[in-house]
Amino acid sequence: MKARVHVMLKDGVLDPQGEAVRHALGSLGFDGVAGVRQGKVIELELAEGTTEATVGEMCEKLLANTVIESYRIELL
């Protein structure tokens, strides 16, 4: 079984990397981009029987900084 964890900065948290990407896109002529939020995707290959709750615990303890980031778990 596999899981994909999507980690994003919470709304209201400044995203300097996203702003740098937005600026770079504008410099390349892509003027239609008003904002960019950058995140990360973590793919886990899980042992049989690993639950979504266990993946959530992994996120809470290591994979996401829950003070400034939110996450979404996708079981594959």
Residue pLDDT, tens place only, 16-65: 999 999 999 999 999 999 999 999 999 999 999 999 999 999 999 999 99
63: domain CATH number is 3.30.1280.10
Q: Phi and psi for 16 in degrees, rounded to 5?
A: -65, -35
CA angle 4, 6, 10 (to 5 degrees): 160
Please give the tally of structural domains in the chain: 1
Structural domain containing residue 31:
2-75
**What's the Cα-to-Cα distance from 52 to each of 14, 55, 58, rounded to whole Å?**
29, 5, 10
pLDDT of residue 71: 98
With a threshold of 0.75, does the pTM exceed it? Answer: yes
Q: What is the average pLDDT across 2-19?
A: 97
Nearest to 55 by CA among 68, 65, 63: 63
